[in-house]
Amino acid sequence: MLQKVFKILIHPLLIYAVIAVLECIPHESHLGEKVYHEMPKVGDNFQIAGDLEVYYFNGKGKYSYTTPDCYFGFGNPSWGAKYEDGGIKTIDAEIANQIPFLGKMCGEKTKVDFVKSTATKEKIYSTSFLLDYFSGVSHIISYFILSLSILYNFRLRKDKYWITFIAIFIGGGILEFVQEFFIIGRSASIEDQVSNCLGAIVAMMLFWILLKTKVFNKMM
């Protein structure tokens, strides 16, 4: 009985279904819902209406966040947080263009007098924050697990590695397509697809190494 339950739990279709549910969670975002026709305040993160780049305002000028890791590295809340809750303020281009550009937030030579975010832990560790920040890591881990499941179920086939990689590539691609066209607040990402394939490659390397061990072969 336990063996049957175990086989069901490690079945590739079940694992893929769990990944699909997690990847298709709608991502609530308040960015651009309200455009402010005023200068940002000192310490504000802001975005220009119609532009995806996010800036930090220190009172003298603006600094750009180079990557999501750079943005979250300063303790900022989710992209989807409202400005009133410490999120990003959207201002019109006419005002934003008057603010001089001073550099990058995470540049090696950049020194910024940063005002720490006042976002609460509840806001920081929201679903949107997890979707924003742990996307790359979660893709690698989840597709690593899925790949091991596929490899185990096709362990007797010589082409198991090709089957695994193709399945991950197509399966991941399908979910990226679904996110782009059918899920609110989610979009397709080449980076996510690369992370999927990376997870598969790591799993294949590990499985290949384990097959060389006598203990693992006896378990198989």
The two beta strands, 62-64 and 101-104, are parallel
Q: How confident is the model at residue 14 (pLDDT cuts 50, 70, 90)?
A: very high
Q: Residue 124 pLDDT more than 50?
A: no
pLDDT tens by residue, 58-77: 999 999 998 877 887 888 88
Cα–Cα dist 129/81, whole Å: 9
Look over the chain and give the mean of its residue pLDDT values, rounded to a whole number.
82
Give the Cβ contact number of residue 55 at 10 Å.
Answer: 24
- What is the arrangement of strands in the sheet containing 101-104, beginning at the earlier edge strand? 35-36, 89-91, 45-48, 54-57, 62-64, 101-104
Q: DSSP string covering 76-123, please?
A: ---TTS-GGGT-PEEE-HHHHTTSPEEEETT-TT-----------HHH
> What's the pLDDT at 86?
81
SS3 assignment for 132-193: HHCHHHHHHHHHHHHHHHHHHHCCCCCCHHHHHHHHHHHHHHHHHHHHHHHCCCCCCCHHHH
Q: Residue 125 pLDDT more than 50?
A: no
Retrieve residue 85's tokens. Answer: 């809750």
Q: What are phi and psi of 48, to 5 degrees?
A: -85, 135
> What's the pLDDT at 131?
57
pLDDT tens by residue, 132-187: 555 678 899 999 999 999 999 999 899 999 999 999 999 999 999 998 888 866 77
Share of the chain above pLDDT 90, in %: 44
> What's the pLDDT at 59?
92
210, amino acid identity: L
